[in-house]
Structure 1
Amino acid sequence: MIRRLCGVLRLRSRGGLLLALLCAASFAAVPVLALLPSLYGFAVASALSYLTDEWLHSKEPEFIGRLAAFRLNRIMRFLARTASLVILAYRLDATDGWLLAILLVNIAQFGLIALYTGLHRTIRLRRVMPIVVRNLDLSGIRIPKAPSALLYQKYLRRLLHLDVPAHAGVLAALWKGEWRYAGLGFAASLLLTVLAVLLLARHYKRSKRMPTRRQVIDSVNTQLGSYRPEVALYFSFAAVSQDFMYQVNMWIETLEQLDLRPLIILRERASFRFLGRTFLPVVCVPKADDLAELDLPHVRVVLYPGNAGKNVHMLRVAEAKHVFIGHGDSDKLASSNRVSKVYDEIWVAGRAGRDRYQRVRHAISNQAIVEVGRPQLAPILRHEQHTPGPLPVVLYAPTWEGWSDDDCHTSLIPMGVPMIRALLKENVRVIYKPHPLTGRRSPKAAAADLAIQDLLRADNRRRDARATASRVAGAKSELQRIQAEMDRLSGRGGRGDDAEQTRRARPGDPAAATEWHRLHAEWHRVFWQTRGPVRHNVILKQLPTLYECFNQADMLISDVSSVVADFVASLKPYVLTNAENLPDDEFYAAYTTAGGAYLLDRECTRLPAILQAVREPWHDPMAPHRRALKDYVLGPDRPTSMERFNGAANSLSDRAALHEWQRYLEQQALPGGPEAQQDLPGIPGANGPWGPAA
């Protein structure tokens, strides 16, 4: 019941649920204690409401969003406390003059907050740029500096809490019977609020000097003209970009190794904020009209990691070849979507991807499918490179619940919790890394997720891992230090809004990428070393990465997803969950990636026998099947995936240039001769890359 309630309220832990209940109780008690009246009780309940409210804002932001959905937002909570304070003063026989003063002060403060909100909104709208960049230098257009985080970020939460001196002063006056305390509190609250408004007003004047749309676009085109990008990665995924950014982040290192000059094009501001480390130029262009004004004459290949409606804004560029590269091979329908017919080519990892498209009969020609491997799998260690620890390490990485119950592929809901209990009885070490979207749609999935975390933490305590816990706490500051240095080298513009990040942006430094990779490896070394060889780990953040978890594991348990196809590269044993208890032959026939898998039934009765493949590697009958499946799903080891991917990009770029040259020659042959045709920038012709036309 508790876990289900946490899932419904979007609370991350039982501690969060306790604080949420305490917050609700304090807000309910405030008006009751005001009516009684009970001065001391009111003071305690009011203080609790402030403290728990602030704690929940910091630690449980999703719960605060849930409150707002029920019209219990910050302003309503502010008004409820103020109204209760007036009732308390009235019940304790405050004079009419002081009652009026309390009301007027709170009205004045609320009016100042409204003025502040208006200024903030105007500044924010003026600082919205048509194009946001990273690793390009737009210093020439002189973007004004953003207001400080204290004034600009989470401002309403801070301003509403400026009523604390006024409330404290009234309570002190009611207690002592001397209303000078109330006057001091009123003065402090009003002066602090006025000061905040005056400070923001300075930035309001500066915001008038923001560059125009035309200036921004022209400056971006000037920088792109100097860089001359030849291949673009294009990504769009609407309002949920933060959770789907793994789809583009997984391709960054591959892009950085191409012979062609890459550019990353994003369509949502959230995507830009959560883009990973890169020294490549990045442009975020939310509006289609602004995208159409980007000058990209040398881009010959456009890569698409996802299918989205806004892809059409780039697909209309006829001079380029458009390629769907996806974000991982799996047996889900998304990996063979009929929408893929709009692309010139579809790049898949291996023969399995080609066969998947041919089986669904979407009229996609065999020539349009190119096998390029999975370059991003290079960091995954092979089975023979792995050193086992004292306990078998099982990585449980379930997929999420999907957009509806009809396509729910996750094992979390039907068998996640009993499976973890069974694993704990087998005395193994568990690494639990759920999909980033787990629990976003289904309260049942959220509850199962929390239950698994509780089981693993409880078992850590049972194992008397106090020494390990001490090492983990001791390493926290070191990990934070390394993370801060990685963030500094990440290519991001630091804190601030999009305009501020663009103001600070400078060309990327490939040397910084080398140092970043060194720090990245050091972070993982410290993390795993301090966790020890027996402690379970719950991985909910970006670090440690999924592939680093692969390298720690002796075995994977997962659902039908691209995680399985990636893990196949390690050649280690893996398990697919068969939550519907399909007959083995039907399951193997339905899912290609099951070809090298052990199948786990819903009741987990097969688990002890499956774990033999780790404890006794000579009892691993699926090993030869995994070898064959790896070649089928991911392609051969030689040439490497990076070489195949790079070769495919170069070949397609050459073909695009050739087709453009042919179109140019056809234009030259039209009535009117070459003088009648306008030479397009970047297209072979009189000023093209092949020199003067003959």
Structure 2
Amino acid sequence: MTIRRLCAVLRVSGKTELLLVILFAAGFAALPVLALLPSLWGFTVAWAVTYVADEALHSRAPGFVRRLATLQLSRTMRFAVRTVMLLALADRTDAPDAVLITGLAVLSAHFLLVMMYSALHHAIRRRRVLPVIVRNLDMSGIDIPAHPPAWLYRRFLRKLLHLDLPAHAGLIVALATGTWYAAYAGYALTIGAATVALAALLGQFRAVRRMPRRDAVIGEVNRQLAAYRPEVALYFSFAAVSRDFMYQVNMWIETLEQLDRRPVIVLRERASFRFLARTRIPVVCVPKADDLAELDLSGVQVVLYPGNAGKNVHMLRVAEAKHVFIGHGDSDKLASSNRVSKVYDEIWVAGKAGRDRYQRVRHAISDGAIVEVGRPQLAPVRSHAEHVPGPVPVVLYAPTWEGWSDDDCHTSLIPMGVPLIEGLLAENVRIIYKPHPLTGKRSPEAAAADRTIRELLRGDEEKVAEAARTRLQEIRARLDEMSGRHEGDDAQQLRDARVPDGDGTAEWQELRDEWHRIFWASRSGARHHVILEQLPTLYECFNQADLLVSDVSSVVADFVASLKPYVLTNAQDLSDEEFRAAYTTAGGAYLLDRACTRLPEILRSVRAPHHDPMAAQRRTLKEYVLGPDRPTSMERFNTAVNDLADRSTAERAEDLLAPLA
């Protein structure tokens, strides 16, 4: 318990990271003591420990390292502390004045070169920021210099500061042996390498002076869009892009690719490309509103919005297009019936439940503005009839996140997440834990509960065979390549942008299917799983599960498609009647009280299917929430797009003829 409390205080994820923090702190605390004693060998050990622990923490606990910077213990300051302490040790061990003065001059010059390199790096990066980033459009017609070599550009501060190692090591060897040639040799290597690096970066700076101007970049993008002639735009913005918000876009990509109309995706944050899934659809990222206004989207007839965000107004002002809120999943949360949705021409929901939900927001949304289109994304979800249960029931726990405020906080993690997992561990079940991508974004309590659950389940993950691990990594690398992800900056992405040579859909799907097949097969002996990455997908986790435990969210509405039993957490301990009246999806759910006393009874529905009294309610609820099976959701969605696009075209024609009447 003490270790867990320390991990929570320091905000590190486990015992290994905690040990690194302790070594790091002990090493730095020992440096001044051992320098003043003086103790050369003790100082050398502490010096080495600080280097190794520092580097390990950067990869194992980057959040802790960032917090050190807020305490003015940045990486540069830590390197400076080592340098000062080493010179203090040399002085205390009576090193010659010439060695000390030369060392002080060289190491000071090294820091000066680091400052100059940082300024030059910043200037290059600033020049390589372009007004538009694209994917799947041919930008070969514009001349953009190549990205500087990774060894010069990426993690440059980390590399430059480490050039002090020759000087430090040379001085330590000199102090140990009493011969000072090693010190001078180390000094020469440090200053020489830093000077060469600065000169090399200066050459890259001269190259970026040829970067195209803003007007030229936007003009070329507009020429490519004019050739493509987009008719439907999916527009997405979210201010906080440090986490994976792009699931809200990715869930619509396959649907957009099957439309009769030509689609384009418009993004507003540069970091969005990090999480964008593979698509052959042209993608345009325009961070600034002024640049968006100059983008030629005059042919777009329908704009689809998967999220409500402030920057939506920059697209909503395009009066010629029809604007539709499609959301990123139907749920009983207030966000799925927001009065703000009145700004859109239409709101598309999955089934009648969505229509009724908006109608409860009185005087806000007219019934005619609501269109039921189903959920095309749910095609991969297998029904209960196709599912073959294993000898041990599989329970998927997929809690929602804590929301932007306490008013819309539906997560069960804070009040009952840990007791729920402990209760499941006491039963003979297999647990798949897949938290919402934004878990812990706002609430430290939710983040702490999430960490505790991961610790409870982590010990049961069996080691994956090396062959399976290697193949999974190979597939992920190919999927990333097909997605267009690379290490280059904005300018490099624009330079590399091309129209896809082939469809690639078949290969993409085959690789994803193979990845999932190997993943589950390689872990068939594992008792429990913690799923934090984009793969395996949520719907693949649905297909593995016999029972879902979740909160009020679109996850539950989507799981209804499988007709398998599911559990809704009733963390407020409302009466069953109140809870079912408040939340539509509770109509086919088992309800779990905060103390989880009903858990053994609920698990009977999995172990003995004939004891599943909610099965009939789930069948009725499925059509109410998701719409009928025929016509398919994809057909209904495509029809809705076509109808609205035709209406937009007709209204534009009327507007053009009106002045002539």
Aligned to 1:681: none
* Distance across 1 between alignment mates of 2:452 and 2:389: 28
Q: Spell out the pairing of 1:190-339 with structure 2 (5 A cutoff).
A: 190-240=191-241, 242-339=243-340
Give the match for residue 521 of structure 2.
529
Which residue does 1:551 correspond to in 2?
Answer: 543
Instruction: Name the counterpart of 2:478.
Output: 485
Which amino acid is the alignment partner of residue 484 of structure 1? A
Partner of 1:674: none
DSSP 3-state at the match of 2:397? strand
Residue 440 of structure 1 aligns with which residue?
441
Change (3 A) 1:602 1:287: same
1:371 Cα shift?
Answer: 0.6
Q: How far does the alpha carbon of each residue in 1:558-615 deviate from its partner, in whole angstroms, 9 at most, with x for none?
A: 1111111111111110001111211111111111111111011111111111011111
1:103: Cα distance to partner? 1.4
- Distance in 2, matches of 1:6 and 1:497, equals 35
- Deviating above 6 A after TM superposition, structure 1's stretches of 4 or more consecutive aligned residues are none
Unaligned residue ranges in structure 2 (runs of 5+): none
User: Which residue identity lines up with residue 641 of structure 2 in the other structure?
Assistant: A
Distance 2:19 2:450 in 1: 19
Counterpart mapping for 1:65-144 below 5 A: 65-144=66-145
User: Could you say which residue in structure 2 is the equivalent of 1:48?
Assistant: 49
Shift of the 380–443 alpha-carbon distance from structure 1 to 2, 3 Å rule, reads: same
Structure 1 stretch 594-603 or stretch 18-27: which is displaced more? 18-27
- Percent identical residues: 67
Q: Normalised by the size of structure 1, how large is the TM-score?
A: 0.93
Aligned CA distance change for structure 1 residues 258 and 449 (closer, same or farther; 3 Å): same
- Determine the C-alpha separation between the residues in 2 that align with 1:303 and 1:651: 14
The count of residues paired between Structure 1 and Structure 2 equals 660
Task: Give CA deviations for 1:55-94 in whole Å, capped at 9, x if unaligned.
Answer: 1112222222222222221111111111111211111112
1:469 equivalent in alignment to 2:470: no
CA contact (8 A) 1:397 1:557 kept: yes
1:619-655 Cα distance to aligned partner (Å, 9 max, x none): 1000111111111111111111111110000000000
The one-letter amino acid of 1:469's match is: K
Compute the displacement of 1:457 (Å).
Answer: 2.6
Aligned residue in 2 for 1:690: none
CA distance in 1, matches of 2:501, 2:434: 32
Other-structure match for 2:644: 652
Q: Which range moves more in the overlay, 445-454 or 214-223? A: 445-454
Q: 1:297 deviation in Å?
A: 2.1
Separation of aligned partners in 2, 1:337 and 1:241: 25
CA distance in 2, matches of 1:569, 1:425: 29
1:629 paired residue number = 621
Matching residue of 1:586: 578
| 1:250/1:470 CA distance change after superposition, 3 Å | closer
Q: Look up the equivalent residue of 1:626 and give its one-letter code.
A: R
> Residues 398 and 433 of structure 1 are in contact (CA less than 8 Å); yes or no, is this contact kept in structure 2?
yes
1:447 positional shift: 2.1
Match of 1:562 in 2: 554
Q: Is the 8 A contact 1:432 1:537 kept in 2?
A: yes
Report what 1:37 is aligned to.
38
Residue 489 of structure 1 aligns to a residue in which SS? Answer: helix
Structure 2: distance between partners of 1:571 and 1:150: 53
| C-alpha distance in 2 between matches for 1:27 and 1:72 | 11
- Mark the CA change 1:319 to 1:424 in structure 2 (over 3 Å): closer, same or farther: same
Deviation at 1:187, TM superposition (A): 1.1
Q: C-alpha separation between the residues in 1 aligned to 2:81 and 2:353?
A: 61
The alpha-carbon distance between structure 1 residues 430 and 276, as it changes in their structure 2 partners (threshold 3 A), is: same
Q: Does 1:374 align with 2:375?
A: yes
Q: TM-score, normalised by structure 2?
A: 0.98
Give the letter aligned to residue 611 of structure 1: L
> Deviations for 1:99-120, whole angstroms, at most 9, x for unmatched residues?
2222111110011111111111
Please report how far the alpha carbon of residue 439 of structure 1 lies from its aligned counterpart in structure 2 after TM superposition.
2.1
Structure 1 unmatched runs, 5+ = 461-467, 670-694
- Work out the CA distance in 2 between the residues paired with 1:273 and 1:445: 25
What amino acid maps onto 1:610 in structure 2? I
Q: Structure 2: how far apart are the matches of 1:403 and 1:113?
A: 41
**Structure-2 residue corresponding to 1:517:** 509
What is the one-letter code of the residue matched to 1:514? Answer: A
Q: Is the 8 A contact 2:325 2:341 kept in 1?
A: yes
Please give the per-residue CA displacement for 1:401-426, whole angstroms capped at 9, x wherever unaligned: 22334443211122111211111111
- Change over 3 Å in CA distance of 1:5–1:366 after alignment to 2: farther
Deviation at 1:14, TM superposition (A): 2.3
Q: Distance in 1 between matches of 2:452 and 2:99?
A: 53
On the 8 A contact 2:241/2:269 being kept in 1, the answer is no
Shift, 1:344, TM fit: 0.3
Counterpart AA for 1:520? R
Structure 2 contact 243–438 (Cα < 8 Å) conserved:
no
Deviation (angstroms), 1:555: 0.4
Counterpart secondary structure, 2:165: helix
Q: What is the distance in 1 between the residues matched to 2:144 and 2:485?
A: 13
Deviation per CA, 1:417-444: give whole Å up to 9, x if none.
1211111111100001111122233232
1:396 CA displacement: 0.5
* In structure 2, C-alpha distance between the alignment counterparts of 1:631 and 1:390, rounded to whole Å: 31
